[in-house]
Structure 1
Amino acid sequence: MTAGTTAGPTNWAGNVAFRAPEVRRPATLDELRRLVAGSPRVRALGSGHSFNDVADTPGELVSLDRMPYTLEIHTGADGAARARVGAGMTYARLAAELHARGLAVAAMASLPHISVAGSVATGTHGSGDANRSLSAAVSGLELVTADGELVSLERGDDDFPGAVVALGALGVVTTLTLDLVPAFELRQYVREDLPRDAPFDEVMAGGYSVSQFTDWSSTRVWLKRLTELPDGDWLGTRAADGPRHPVPGMPPDSCTGQLGVPGPWHERLPHFRADAPPSNAGDELQSEFAMPRERAAEALAALYAAGDRVRPALRISEVRTVAADDLWLSPFHGRDSVAVHFTWIKDWDAVLPALRLVEETLAPFDPRPHWGKLFTRWPEPSERFGALVRAYDPEGKFGNDFLRRVLGE
């Protein structure tokens, strides 16, 4: 069988044109293994939602969206439910099918349209004081390595913490096993005009998942709660009088249900509905940086001070909290974090100076970038991750310019 192809690939936003002339779409595991083994350069492409060249290659660009459907629910030795899922599955499809079985994942990103493997590989996250990244839910994975072999890793294996958020450097991930929780309901509220002096910890403790949306002048809060929010004052804010889009002035039709109406977890945790075009439908650029949670007040104050210079290139910023994990390249490795996201206008010449200003402003707070978004300052290379890459891919089959910057080589 010959893999299907698609010409002229770009990422979701259209700001990255991949050097590969086409996207290869193997339909079976054996076909994928032959393709990887026989190609001098290979990279896996998820849903294309990264805003940089993390997936780029001049060789074979591989999508798994035609691989056989995989969703297997099982109970581990510890009594916890887990799901083995195909790497190309989107969170939208996974969530709906888990919910039908009375199950859930504990966290989701803003968009449910993104693929499971791509989200995990880049350290993508949701929000919530007790919620870890999507990557931290992974308890096992299978990947095709450079020689076409299928390798399985589980939580507890020596290589596992380096192989989850691995940026595609070790091979093409084919399945992941995810920790599950019982399905639950949430209510989503939008509160307007958060006072600048509102206590950060109290704001972020206001729900199961909490996001602050700000232009560094005025701020709204998205509260996703397990219980009803009592009427009246909440930290000096007022209730929105109708549904809101995170970007002021945009129609809220694509957003998940608000106004405190209860709904299934997967129809409230993301900001955007699975059955509608996501966000600004690609008309944007994005950056994001994670800082230690205890530095949140200082970091946010510094950004507010720079707000007038950032705002001309900004659509909106989002402030979230993420619990620590133990994954080597995770932006949240070893520390509870505050993550500050920037949705920029789609004009790189205008965005670049604003982005550099943000990076300079946040430099005292030890920022770590989201691997799938735009940044110009690179973290110090991880020696142990570099050793892991050399062990799995000694010839650099999965390497690209992005990884050479990450590894300092």
Structure 2
Amino acid sequence: MSEPQTNWAGNVTYGAARLHRPDSVERLQDVVAGSGRLRALGTRHSFNRIADCPDGDLVSLENLPASMELDTVRHTVTVSAGVRYGELARWLHDKGYALHNLGSLPHISVAGACATATHGSGDANGNLSTAVAGIEMVTADGEITVLTRERDGDRLRGAVVGLGALGIVTRLTLDVVPAFDIRQDVYENLPWARLEDHFEEIFSATYSVSLFTRWRGPQIDQVWLKRRVDGSGDAWEAAPEWLDATLAETELHPLPGMPAANCTRQLGVPGPWHERLPHFRLDFTPSSGEELQSEYLVPRRHAIGALRALDRIRDGVASVLQVSEIRTVAADDLWMSPCYGQGAVALHFTWKKDWPAVSRVLTLVEEALEPFEARPHWGKLFVTSPERLRSRYERLPDFQRLLGVHDPTGKFRNTFVDDYILGENPR
């Protein structure tokens, strides 16, 4: 490559010799067929080396023609892989449709988010990957393979969270629903004891719930409630106090002291789903990348135990933390999803950009969470051993066989896949 390529945060410099930017699917097919080892880049929001390919090539989909096709009969949209969620959401909303959920950032690509089981929040909301009804990808021989929910069933469920290891995804078909409105209200200083005593009430209170804490005291700093607004005239209003937390009277950033201008509207002002479900607006960059991120998904039955365990090491966590978010995600049936077969509580950490210090704290965090079967987010930083991580996925043997079918020569493998999926690293 003419100049070093990095991920969004700048903590990973990719080691591939070449970066391809094909401007058509046909050119992409030629790149794939002619490459030895190859991995795809999305919007580069992964914090680890899941996308790196030191002994091969990288391919970016940023120059592929963007396309979005709505099927009002099947209630789906087929979208090119490199399209960002914020762009797709605006287009869908203009046509009267919505996705069931969005992540915190609308800036991420559809293909990258689905391949790593990235998620939003909500007791009844599966992660973004659960909307996938079909996948089109270029496989190792340069040919196009299409998998659909109706025809391929379990194989599609294995391929959706594919970690980039099955092929280069070119298009995805997603389920859509009628467009809806959301109001967002924020409460401050929820006592920790109230969280423990009213966990189910808090997280079932609205369509999507996010709790923000800096692990510096016996309270949750902010509770973000995203409530669907009934178009027939929902008269619900947020109470001044709720579980001893106080309704915010000004708009807030999740990190106290930061300006709220780049956050989605709050103060109970109703707005379109795509302008409320993310925490940040598409028109603003939420940060400069001066951060690292980790996230662990814990079975919901272990939620209180896991939170208590983290509270016992909160001084260590707070020493390198910017802010932490707690969310819930519904169970799904996608083989390599951290929510496979179990509703989960997501424990997210945005760290200061100091990997030596963060890695030491991650060791403490993972030791604290060990009794609670935590699964790390595939695209974020963790120190979990490959053996331990593989043991957490009961459908891993099936996924390994699927890799053998779609990529028999290992063209889309890298060190990450060899270590954490296949349990071998021959190179």
The two structures have a TM-score, normalised by structure 1, of: 0.96
Q: Distance in 2 between matches of 1:301 and 1:329?
A: 27
Which of these residues, 314, 317, 321, is aligned with residue 310 of structure 1? 317
Which of these residues, 77, 82, 97, is aligned with residue 76 of structure 2? 82
Q: Which residue of 2 aligns with 1:206?
A: 205
Q: Distance in 1 between matches of 2:58 and 2:347?
A: 31
Correspondences of 1:33-48 after superposition (within 5 Å): 33-48=29-44
| 1:6 Cα deviation from its structure 2 partner | 6.8
Tell me how large the CA RMSD over aligned residues is: 1.2
Residue 106 (str. 1) matches residue 100 (str. 2): yes
Q: Distance in 2 between matches of 1:90 and 1:6?
A: 26
Indicate if the aligned counterparts of 2:32 and 2:141 stay in contact, CA closer than 8 A. Answer: yes
Which of these residues, 237, 240, 258, is aligned with residue 245 of structure 2? 237
Residue 391 (str. 1) matches residue 390 (str. 2): no
Correspondences of 1:44-193 after superposition (within 5 Å): 44-58=40-54, 59-76=56-73, 80-156=74-150, 157=152, 158-193=154-189
Residue 380 (str. 1) matches residue 390 (str. 2): yes
Q: Which residue of 1 aligns with 2:233?
A: none
* Uncovered stretches (5+) of structure 2, i.e. residues with no partner: 230-235
Indicate if the aligned counterparts of 1:7 and 1:22 stay in contact, CA closer than 8 A. Answer: no
Amino acid of the structure 2 residue aligned with 1:203? I
* Uncovered stretches (5+) of structure 1, i.e. residues with no partner: none
Correspondences of 1:393-408 after superposition (within 5 Å): 393-407=407-421, 408=423
Indicate if the aligned counterparts of 2:294 and 2:350 stay in contact, CA closer than 8 A. Answer: yes
- CA shift in 2, pair 1:200/1:45, >3 Å: same
Which of these residues, 258, 274, 279, is aligned with residue 250 of structure 1? 258
1:63-116 per-residue CA deviation (whole Å, 9 max, x = no partner) reads 11111221111145xxx4100000000001000000000100011000000000
Correspondences of 1:338-349 after superposition (within 5 Å): 338-349=345-356
| 1:126 Cα deviation from its structure 2 partner | 0.1
Amino acid of the structure 2 residue aligned with 1:312? S
Q: Distance in 2 between matches of 1:254 and 1:21?
A: 37
Q: How many residues align?
A: 401
Q: Distance in 2 between matches of 1:350 and 1:69?
A: 40
Q: Secondary structure at the match of 2:390?
A: coil
Q: Distance in 1 between matches of 2:409 and 2:248?
A: 56
Which of these residues, 341, 356, 360, is aligned with residue 367 of structure 2? 360
Q: Which residue of 2 aligns with 1:260?
A: 268
Q: Which residue of 2 aligns with 1:270?
A: 278
Residue 283 (str. 1) matches residue 286 (str. 2): no
Amino acid of the structure 1 residue aligned with 2:171? T
Amino acid of the structure 2 residue aligned with 1:380? R
| 1:233 Cα deviation from its structure 2 partner | 2.1
Q: Distance in 1 between matches of 2:174 and 2:158?
A: 17
| 1:42 Cα deviation from its structure 2 partner | 0.7
Q: Distance in 1 between matches of 2:237 and 2:157?
A: 38
Q: Distance in 2 between matches of 1:229 and 1:350?
A: 44
Q: Distance in 2 between matches of 1:191 and 1:291?
A: 25
Which of these residues, 163, 183, 191, is aligned with residue 195 of structure 1? 191
Indicate if the aligned counterparts of 2:263 and 2:279 stay in contact, CA closer than 8 A. Answer: yes
Indicate if the aligned counterparts of 1:128 and 1:323 stay in contact, CA closer than 8 A. Answer: yes
Q: Secondary structure at the match of 1:242?
A: coil
1:135-174 per-residue CA deviation (whole Å, 9 max, x = no partner) reads 0000000000000010000114141111000100000000
| 1:236 Cα deviation from its structure 2 partner | 1.2
Q: Which residue of 2 aligns with 1:221?
A: 223
Q: Distance in 2 between matches of 1:236 and 1:398?
A: 52
1:370-402 per-residue CA deviation (whole Å, 9 max, x = no partner) reads 000001114126211111111211111101011
Q: Identity of paired residues, percent?
A: 54
| 1:207 Cα deviation from its structure 2 partner | 1.2
Q: Secondary structure at the match of 1:30?
A: helix
Q: Secondary structure at the match of 2:348?
A: strand
- Decide which moves more: 211-220 or 129-138: 211-220
Indicate if the aligned counterparts of 1:127 and 1:322 stay in contact, CA closer than 8 A. Answer: yes
